[in-house]
Structure 1
Amino acid sequence: MRYGFLGPETTFTHQALLQALAEGPAGATDAEVEIVPFASVATATADLIAGDIDALMAPIENSVEGGVSGTLDVLAATDAITIVAEQIVQIGFVLAAKEPTALEDLTVVSSHPHAQAQVQGWLRAHVPEADVAAASSTAAAARDLAAMDADEAYGRAAVCSALAARHFGLEVLAEGIEDVSGARTRFVLVAREGRIPARTGADKTTVVIHLPHNRSGALLEALEMLRSNGVNMSRIESRPIGDFLGRYSFSIDMEGHLEDRRVAAALRSLHRMCPVVHYLGSYPRVDGTRPEVREDFEDVTYDEAHRWIEDLGGMITPSSSAG
């Protein structure tokens, strides 16, 4: 198995992948697993679809910044991949430099934009004169800084994990610089289409939908289809479709599995209404939380209602015998 991740090594995505592999089926050896770093989720997804890797770990949601737009957009762009698992990683940041440096001497601080957003208050308070530069990942910011010679690196720092700072031999200038302590990022493990883990009873289902254009109340109608089947959402986010202004898709996480009658009924309703429904998978919740399901939304009630309608259908007079 070849697993892709947003690299280089020591990114939070790398940590999420290592967690997933550690929790995987017993008996797997390092010789049977290869992990491959990528500079972007889009590049990794292209290789996944092409068959060059077997699965991909990607960040999808942060407790402070919300959805990770790059991942959401890639997932919305294709129905050839399926989410098969999720992981959650506790997020913490340090400010690191190649050599010990006074904060007032820093002129450039680099990191991934999502990381920058989570430390912007600290940066404004402690290094207000420094420019903030974007990197493809927190670990890439640390790696690139470590590769510079002393003169080029002077006045530069990186926002990264403590693990990345140690791995690349950087000096930690400040730690615990995140604006909100206890922040977490959720990651999803994505495989090529066709793999849906069996129901566990503590599952999520993810879809991306497009609403009918210029139809008043269309979003309310879609949400009502979930409500009327007792399906609770744990996340909903809008992303521009890109064809013209005012057109948005909606990425939705719902509690439950495709095997749950209530979830299947809700998906059938969405498919009837929406011009596009990308089913992105049903998979176990990493926290193991089971949803509270009302009695009238349990599988048995759907099955009984289905049998009842079938019985009623047996009473219909065939059209050839009518009149």
Structure 2
Amino acid sequence: MRYGFLGPETTFTHQALLQAIAQLPEEFTTATPELVPFSSVATAATDLLAGDIDALMAPIENSVEGGVSGTLDVLAATDSITIVAEQTVQITFVLAAREATPLEQLTTVSSHPHAQAQVQGWLRKQVPDAHIAAASSTAAAARDLAAAPASEAQGRAAVCSPLAAQHFGLEILAEGIEDYEGAITRFVLVTREGRIPARTGADKTTLVLQLPHNRSGALLEALEILASNGVNMSRIESRPVGDFLGRYSFSLDIEGHIEDRRVAAALRSLHRLCPVVHYLGSYPRVDGRRAEVREDFADHAYDDARAWIQRLTGMITPADPGAAI
């Protein structure tokens, strides 16, 4: 198995991938894993669809900044990939440089944009005059700083994980610089196989919907479908479809597994309503929390109702083939 991740080594995505591989069911770990770093989720997804890697770990949301747009857009673009697992990582950041440097002497601080958003308050207060530069990942910011010539590294710092600072031999100038202590980032492990992990009773399902265009109340109709089947939604985010202004798709996480009757019934109704429904997988929740399901939304309630309708339709008198309808 070849697993892609947002690299280089020591990114939070790398950490999430290592955690996920250790917890994967046996059917997804039949061979020794090879970990392949990528500079972007989109590049890794292209290689996944081409068959060059077997799975991809990508960040999908964090508790401070919300959804990770690059991953959401990749997931919305195809229904040829399936989420098979999720993982969460608690996030903490340090400010690191090549050598001990007073904060007032820093001219440039680089990191991934989502990391910047999680430390922006600290940066504004502590290094208000420094230029904030974007990097492809937090670890890439640390790696590039460590590899830069001494003359170019002067006055530069990186926002990264403590592990990345240590791995690339940087000096930590400040630690615990995140604006919100205990911030969490959620990651998803994606494959192209189309295999769905077995139902555990503590599951999550991810979808991407495109609603009927210019139809008043279409989003409300979709949400009512979920509510009428007792399906709780834990995340919804809109992303532009890209064909023209005002067209959006919706990325959703709902509680439950496609094998749950209530979830399957909701998906059938959404398929009737929406011109596009990308089913992106049902997979175990990383927190193991089971959904609270009312008795009338339990599997047996749907089975009983189906059996009742079948019994009633079995009583219908066959139509006369020659009769006009």
> TM class by shorter-chain length?
over 0.9
Spell out, residue by residue over 1:61-107, the C-alpha distance to the aligned partner (whole angstroms, 9 max, x if none). Answer: 10010000000000000011000000000000000001111100000
Gaps of 5+ in 1: none
Check conservation: 1:60, 1:72, Cα contact below 8 A. Answer: yes
Once the two structures are superposed, what CA deviation does each residue of 1:165-219 show, in whole Å capped at 9, x if it has no partner? 0000000000000000000000000000411001000000000000000000100
> Counterpart amino acid of 1:108?
T
Give runs of aligned pairs for residues 1-323 of structure 1, distance below 5 A: 1-25=1-25, 32-320=32-320
Contact 2:257 2:263 in 1 (8 A): yes
Output one character per residue of 1:35-82: Cα deviation in whole Å (capped at 9) or x when no partner.
000000000001111111110000001001000000000000001100
Task: Report % sequence identity.
Answer: 80
- Structure 1 stretches of 4+ moved >6 Å: 26-31
Partners of 1:25 and 1:269 lie apart in 2 by 31
AA aligned to 1:77 is A
Q: Does the residue aligned with 1:14 lie in a helix, a strand or coil? A: helix
Give the SS at the match of 2:311.
helix
Count residues in correspondence. 323
CA distance in 1, matches of 2:184, 2:70: 18
Q: Deviations over 1:232-286 (max 9, x none)?
A: 0010000011111111100000000000000000000000000000000000000
For 1:194 and 1:39, locate their aligned partners in 2 and report how far apart those are by CA, in whole Å: 25
Per-residue CA distance 1:23-45 (angstroms, 9 max, x = gap): 23579999811000000000000
Which amino acid in the other structure matches residue 284 of structure 1? P
CA contact (8 A) 1:107 1:129 kept: yes
CA distance in 2, matches of 1:223, 1:30: 39
Asked if structure 2 preserves the Cα contact closer than 8 Å seen for 1:79 and 1:193, the reply is: no
Going from structure 1 to structure 2, the CA distance change for 1:27 and 1:211 (only over 3 Å counts) comes to closer
TM superposition shift of 1:21: 1.4
TM-score (norm 1): 0.98
Contact 1:210–1:249 (8 Å) recurs in 2:
yes
Q: Contact 1:62–1:184 at 8 Å: present in 2 too?
A: yes
Q: 1:58 to 1:148 in 2, by over 3 A?
A: same
Q: Distance in 1 between matches of 2:72 and 2:29?
A: 32
What is the TM-score when the length of structure 2 is the normalising length?
0.97
Write the distance in 2 (CA, Å) between the matches of 1:133 and 1:230.
46
